[in-house]
Amino acid sequence: MKVAALQMTSSMSCADNLQQAVDLLHEAAQLGAQLAVLPEYFCLMGQRDTDKLLIQEPFGAGPIQDRMAQAAQSLGLWIVAGSLPLSLTLEGHSPQVYNSSLAFNPQGQCVARYDKMHLFQFKTDTEHYDERRSLQEGPEPTLFEMQDASGECWRIGMSICYDLRFPELYRFYAQAGADLLLVPSAFTRTTGQAHWETLLKARAIENMAYVVAPAQSGAHDNGRHTHGHTMLIDPWGVVLAQKETGVGVVMAEFSRAVLTQQRGQLPALRHRRL
C-alpha cells in the first residue's frame, strides 16, 4: 500500500491553507497514494492560541470538513485530516475546542474521529506554549480500518503530536492489533531537534508497527518555527522516506508481508508480561 505524508508550512489564512492541502492531496493521488495524512493544524497556524476558536466547526458540518470530504471523494483517496478545531457541542461556538483528527474514506464519509488526549505545555526563556488555554482533552483512543487496493485490511491507530511522548497510548493500539500508527504533528524546532526522530523510531520499534508522521515545517507567519522532518518508518525502525524542510509529499510503500515477517522474527508483542 502506498502511503503519503504531507508536509506543510501553514499560515494564518485558513483559505490559503485549505487550498495548499488540497493541492498536496492531488499530488499524492497522482503519485498513487491510497492513504494521505495531513499534519497537525494544517488549516491554521494562528497568531494566538485562541485564534483556532474563530474557525471551529461542529462535528459533521463546516467548510474544513466539507473540503476534506470532497477531496477524498473526488480523488478516490483515504484522507486523514491531521487536526482541526471541533466545537465541544453540536451547537457550534464554544470557549474551548477539541484538536481533532478525522479520517475520510474514498466515498467522502468521515469514518473515524480522534480528539487529542495529551495537551502540549512547554516553557523556556524564549518560548511558552500551553494548549490548555484553548483546547479540551480528548476522552479516548481511536482506531479505524481501511482496505487497500488489493483488499488487504489495515488497522490504524490515531494520535496527534504531543501524544508521541506517551508510549502507553501506542501500546494500547498495538494490543488492539494496529498495523499503522499516525502522528500528524507541529513539533517546535526546539523539541523536534531534540526528540522527534528518536520518539518516532521508538514507537515503531516497540510496537512493531509502521509509523506515518506528517509535520509542519519552517517559519510561520505567527513567528513560530516548526521542525519539519516528515517521516514514514517501518516496524524495524527504518526511515523509509522523509523530507527535512519545505512543503511537499513524502511517499513510501507499506507491505503486509514485511510486517508479518518482522513480527514473526521478533515476536516481542507476544512476550509482554504487563
Q: What are the DSSP calls for 50-100, one per residue?
A: GGGGGG-B-TT-SHHHHHHHHHHHHHT-EEEEEEEEEEEETTEEEEEEEEE
- Please state, in angstroms and rounded to a whole number, the distance separating the CA atoms of residues 77 and 25: 9
- The model's pLDDT over 183-213, given as tens digits with 9 standing for 90+, comes to 999 999 999 999 999 999 999 999 999 999 9
Tell whether the model's pLDDT for residue 129 goes beyond 90: no
- The model's pLDDT over 139-176, given as tens digits with 9 standing for 90+, comes to 999 999 999 999 999 999 999 999 999 999 999 999 99
Instruction: Return the active site residues.
Output: 40, 116, 161
- Please state, in angstroms and rounded to a whole number, the distance separating the CA atoms of residues 114 and 178: 15
Tell whether the model's pLDDT for residue 254 goes beyond 90: yes
Overall size of the chain counted in residues: 274
pTM of the model: 0.97
Q: Which fold has domain 2-271?
A: Nitrilase/N-carbamoyl-D-aminoacid amidohydrolase (3.60.110)
- Please state, in angstroms and rounded to a whole number, the distance separating the CA atoms of residues 160 and 60: 20
The pairing of strands 2-7 and 248-253 is antiparallel
Domain range summary for the chain, segments of one domain joined by +: 2-271
- The model's pLDDT over 106-118, given as tens digits with 9 standing for 90+, comes to 999 999 999 999 9
